[in-house]
């Protein structure tokens, strides 16, 4: 039956309500104590709850031994991958590990539990998204027990009088800290005549929308910095009825009140006046917040999170009067992603979550991501930026017949500030969006996105030298890189049984190179004739990657001993085994079909046979590479115009 027809809203709602009432609790403080005795973890403090929330779903440990990626990137640190952040955050392991480390030591009651966790990084690097994840995580945690009627949903254990705390603490096996808020204190005396065991306790869920355990402080108008946003205010209408120091006049509805037990987030934190920041610091350091009017300070237990961009941080840091605040901040830098494969995942995620339904030609996101990363990389003497990008992505880069011998680790060490500047994720998303709206066939391709990025850069407010640099990446570096990707792809689609041809070329090369190195002869498979190694064949392959005649001997030796070492380890050898040789073989294959490709791309002069070949190639690109008929035609035309021009 159709699922939609059989769906019954009433059953769903009732089922949900039943499940929720089971988990819910409503009773007296005495009953709460019994529950607490059985499950002491429900009495945990905010940092500890947050830490458990992150780690409970599990994590896996990656190191060079079990991760090819870490080996390739020569990352020596052990990386923990937390399921809590999985699928939403990419290339952020270091940041996430630092955040978890903060929560861990804070959960143990260390100094960090009395410090602000502060994220700093360029726009669009994912700071807000990390905060959102923590908040939505809290919303999904189990309900917490609170004093019923308390505006700060405070921990019921605050009801226990001081002289009994030690004993309670021992029986329950948990530490008890914090005092009643002025409103609950008043009710205890006034309503319950000190019989705290009868005080009502209930459970609530964390909720962003109802400001339950989650408080958010947006940057405030500097001319109107009223601390009521943080700590609530006095209800003026009630001042007629009650005395000024009567807790009944208090409206404890500030961000700290709301965020008690959970977290308080300060957006663009340093845009706020120092007075605000002092309240923030007292709340972390002393775990106390001021009460509006004349009441005493109020106990606060929550994680304080803040974020801003680097310019604000620098400005703030430069002011010496802020030293006390700086000392109470755990700073975590959130740089842009510099690893191509991870950057690509970001856009796939964003696009996957949107209503975007256009077809996307292969390499579209890749080219866009290459641009964003190129703008973020710091130039080095050791290589050009595209090479750096590839090395940072764990790719093997061939230069003059050899793997590039540059040490990635050293590259990284020489550019510690890398990733704090450049093009943001939002720029890339906007360019992709523009390319879609400009496109005709509900299909976008790298050519259109590159065009959109070029226009976008031209419109941006940028210093001239930077604009020139960015346009250089788009109009030169990426133009060439994309064409070289296309060339490989089209050749593969064009050459029937590409793989076999490559393998046979490889075996041939290896036979002759081996014979050459060992000064032996090659036996012809068919005629069994003993032949001299075919140097012409060897050179025709080596030349593809610029190996000079004088370097050829060395190259042949390297190839043979490399293959020998593989065979000795019982590893299968194939044309991709040795990256430089793979590159040479692919280039050789490309060169051999170049003439053909030219004919194929010339629509008007094709004969019947050529037309058939063309159609097979298009079909291969559609079936195997993920093109649609429109983008396939577009890229072939583009390749024809740029690659195989006479
Ligand atoms: N490393 C990353 N992994 C996954 N998504 C990311 C990453 N970096 C950025 N994003 C995505 O990019 C978009 C912009 O990020 P976000 O709004 O969190 O940035 P921000 O650092 O808060 O920027 P701003 O300083 O402008 O507020 C979001 O959709 C976010 O999910
Ligand atoms: Mg943000």
DSSP for 64-127? Answer: TTT-HHHHHHT--S-EEEEGGGTTT--S-HHHHHHHHHHHHHHHTT-GGGGSEEEEE-STTSSH
**Residue 352, exposed/middle/buried by CB under 10 A (0-12, 13-18, 19+)?**
exposed
**Residues 435, 211: Cα–Cα separation, whole Å:** 40
Q: Tokens 């949107």 belong to which residue?
A: 354
CA angle 173/179/180 to nearest 5° reads: 115
Dihedrals φ, ψ of 434, to 5°? -60, -45
336: tokens are: 């842009």
Structure confidence at residue 1 as a pLDDT band (50, 70, 90)? very low
- Residue spans of alpha helices (H) in 191-329: 228-231, 255-259, 274-285, 310-318, 323-326
Query: Cβ(347)–Cβ(428) under 8 Å?
Result: yes
Instruction: Examine the pLDDT at 416 and tell me if it is beyond 50.
Output: yes
Distance 128 CA to ligand 2 centre (A): 4
What's residue 330's pLDDT?
Answer: 94
Q: Whose CA is nearest to atom 10 of ligand 1?
A: 126
Q: Which of 125, 348, 422 to mutate to test the pocket of ligand 1 (most atoms within 8 A of CB)?
A: 125
Q: Whose CA is nearest to atom 30 of ligand 1?
A: 126
Q: What is the DSSP letter of 296?
A: P
Instruction: Examine the pLDDT at 4 and tell me if it is beyond 80.
Output: no
What's residue 598's pLDDT?
Answer: 61
Instruction: Examine the pLDDT at 221 and tell me if it is beyond 80.
Output: no
Structure confidence at residue 495 as a pLDDT band (50, 70, 90)? confident
> Averaged over 559-578, what is the pLDDT?
90
The answer to whether the CB of 129 is under 6 A from ligand 1 is yes
Distance 87 CA to ligand 2 centre (A): 19
Instruction: Examine the pLDDT at 480 and tell me if it is beyond 60.
Output: yes
Instruction: Examine the pLDDT at 58 and tell me if it is beyond 50.
Output: yes
Instruction: Examine the pLDDT at 96 and tell me if it is beyond 90.
Output: yes
> Averaged over 568-586, what is the pLDDT?
90
> Averaged over 72-77, what is the pLDDT?
86
Instruction: Examine the pLDDT at 484 and tell me if it is beyond 70.
Output: yes
Instruction: Examine the pLDDT at 396 and tell me if it is beyond 90.
Output: no
Instruction: Examine the pLDDT at 167 and tell me if it is beyond 60.
Output: yes
> Averaged over 169-190, what is the pLDDT?
93
pLDDT tens profile 318-376: 888 888 888 899 999 999 999 999 999 999 999 988 887 889 999 999 999 999 999 99
What is the pLDDT of the chain when averaged over all its residues?
Answer: 89
378: enclosing H helix or E strand: none
**Residues 90, 376: Cα–Cα separation, whole Å:** 16
**Residues 225, 206: Cα–Cα separation, whole Å:** 27
Ligand nearest, relative to CA of residue 86 = 1
**Residues 45, 349: Cα–Cα separation, whole Å:** 34
The answer to whether the CB of 124 is under 6 A from ligand 1 is yes
**Residues 620, 600: Cα–Cα separation, whole Å:** 14
Nearest atom, ligand 1, residue 309 CA: 25
Q: Which of 121, 350, 425, 427 to mutate to test the pocket of ligand 1 (most atoms within 8 A of CB)?
A: 425
**Residues 553, 325: Cα–Cα separation, whole Å:** 65
Range with the largest mean pLDDT of 174-178, 332-336, 564-568: 332-336
What's residue 180's pLDDT?
Answer: 95
85: tokens are: 């952040």
> Averaged over 255-277, what is the pLDDT?
90
**Residues 409, 415: Cα–Cα separation, whole Å:** 10
Instruction: Examine the pLDDT at 3 and tell me if it is beyond 60.
Output: no
Distance 422 CA to ligand 2 centre (A): 16
Q: What is the dihedral of CA 162, 164, 169, 172, to 10 degrees?
A: -130
**Residues 154, 147: Cα–Cα separation, whole Å:** 6
| Closest of 446, 449, 450 to residue 476, by C-alpha | 450
Distance 472 CA to ligand 2 centre (A): 29
**Residues 428, 412: Cα–Cα separation, whole Å:** 24
How large a percentage of the chain has pLDDT more than 90? 57
The answer to whether the CB of 350 is under 6 A from ligand 1 is yes
Distance 336 CA to ligand 1 centre (A): 9
**Residues 346, 132: Cα–Cα separation, whole Å:** 16
The answer to whether the CB of 215 is under 6 A from ligand 1 is no
CB atoms within 10 A of CB 448: 22
Contacts of 189 (CB under 8 A, 6+ apart): none
Distance 469 CA to ligand 1 centre (A): 24
Q: Whose CA is nearest to atom 18 of ligand 1?
A: 126
**Residues 370, 559: Cα–Cα separation, whole Å:** 31
Nearest atom, ligand 1, residue 425 CA: 12
Ligand nearest, relative to CA of residue 129 = 1
What's residue 179's pLDDT?
Answer: 94
What's residue 227's pLDDT?
Answer: 83
pLDDT tens profile 608-633: 777 787 888 889 899 989 999 999 98
pLDDT tens profile 114-159: 999 999 999 999 999 999 999 999 999 999 999 999 999 999 999 9
Structure confidence at residue 594 as a pLDDT band (50, 70, 90)? low
The answer to whether the CB of 419 is under 6 A from ligand 1 is no
**Residues 121, 134: Cα–Cα separation, whole Å:** 18
pTM for the full model? 0.87
Can you tell me whether residue 251 is helix, strand or coil?
strand
> Averaged over 523-536, what is the pLDDT?
85
What's residue 8's pLDDT?
Answer: 83
25 to 12, 19, 145, 237: CA distances (angstroms) = 22, 12, 8, 34
The answer to whether the CB of 89 is under 6 A from ligand 1 is yes
């Amino acid at each position: 039956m159709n699922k939609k027809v059989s769906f019954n809203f009433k059953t769903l709602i009732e089922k949900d309500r039943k499940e929720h009432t089971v988990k819910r609790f409503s009773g007296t403080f005495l009953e709460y104590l019994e529950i607490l005795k059985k499950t002491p973890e429900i009495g945990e403090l905010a940092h500890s709850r947050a830490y458990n929330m992150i780690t409970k779903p599990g994590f896996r440990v990656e190191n060079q031994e079990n991760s090819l990626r870490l080996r390739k990137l020569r990352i020596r640190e052990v990386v923990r991958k937390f399921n809590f952040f999985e699928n939403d955050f990419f290339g952020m392991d270091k940041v996430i590990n630092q955040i978890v480390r903060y929560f861990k030591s804070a959960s143990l009651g260390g100094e960090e539990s009395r410090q602000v966790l502060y994220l700093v990084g360029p726009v669009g690097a994912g700071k807000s998204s990390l905060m959102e994840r923590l908040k939505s995580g809290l919303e999904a945690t189990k309900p917490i027990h609170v004093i019923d009627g308390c505006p700060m949903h405070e921990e019921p254990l605050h009801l226990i009088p001081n002289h009994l705390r030690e004993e309670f603490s021992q029986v329950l096996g948990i530490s008890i800290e914090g005092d009643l808020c002025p409103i609950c204190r008043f009710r205890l005396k006034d309503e319950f005549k000190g019989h705290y065991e009868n005080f009502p306790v209930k459970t609530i869920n964390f909720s962003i929308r109802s400001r339950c355990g989650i408080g958010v402080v947006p940057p405030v108008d500097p001319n109107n910095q009223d601390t009521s946003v943080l700590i609530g205010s006095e209800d003026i209408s009630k001042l007629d009825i009650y005395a000024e120091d009567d807790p009944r006049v208090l409206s404890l509805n500030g961000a700290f009140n709301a965020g008690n037990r959970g977290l308080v987030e300060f957006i663009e934190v340093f845009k706020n006046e120092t007075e605000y920041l002092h309240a923030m610091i007292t709340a972390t350091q002393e775990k106390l917040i001021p009460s509006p009017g004349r009441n005493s300070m109020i106990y606060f237990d929550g994680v304080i999170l803040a974020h801003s961009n680097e310019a604000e941080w620098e400005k703030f840091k430069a002011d010496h009067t802020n030293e006390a605040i700086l000392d109470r901040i755990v700073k975590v830098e959130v740089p842009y992603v510099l690893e191509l494969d991870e950057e690509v995942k970001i856009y796939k995620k964003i696009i996957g979550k949107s209503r975007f339904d256009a077809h996307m030609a292969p390499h579209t996101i890749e080219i866009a991501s290459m641009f964003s990363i190129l703008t973020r990389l710091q130039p080095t003497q050791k290589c050009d930026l595209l090479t750096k990008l590839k090395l940072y992505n764990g790719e093997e880069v061939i230069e003059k017949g050899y793997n590039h011998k540059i040490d990635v680790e050293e590259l990284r060490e020489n550019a510690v500030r890398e990733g704090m500047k450049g093009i943001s994720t939002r720029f890339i998303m906007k360019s992709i969006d523009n390319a879609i709206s400009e496109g005709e066939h509900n299909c976008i391709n790298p050519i259109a996105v590159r065009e959109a990025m070029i226009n976008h850069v031209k419109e941006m407010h940028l210093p001239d030298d930077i604009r020139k640099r960015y346009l250089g990446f788009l109009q030169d570096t990426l133009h060439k890189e994309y064409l070289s990707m296309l060339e490989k792809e089209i050749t593969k689609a064009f050459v029937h049984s590409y793989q076999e041809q490559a393998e046979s070329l490889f075996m041939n090369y290896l036979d002759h190179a081996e014979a050459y190195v060992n000064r032996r002869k090659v036996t012809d498979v068919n005629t069994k004739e003993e032949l001299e190694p075919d140097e012409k064949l060897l050179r025709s392959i080596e030349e593809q990657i610029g190996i000079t005649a004088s370097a050829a001997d060395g190259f042949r030796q390297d190839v043979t001993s490399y293959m020998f070492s593989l065979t000795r380890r019982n590893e299968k050898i194939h044309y991709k085994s040795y990256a430089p040789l793979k590159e040479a073989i692919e280039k050789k294959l490309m060169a051999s079909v170049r003439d053909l490709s030219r004919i194929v791309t010339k629509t008007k002069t094709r004969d019947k046979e050529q037309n058939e070949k063309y159609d097979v190639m298009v079909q291969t690109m559609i079936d195997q590479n993920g093109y649609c008929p429109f983008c396939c035609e577009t890229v072939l035309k583009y390749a024809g115009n740029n690659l195989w021009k006479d």
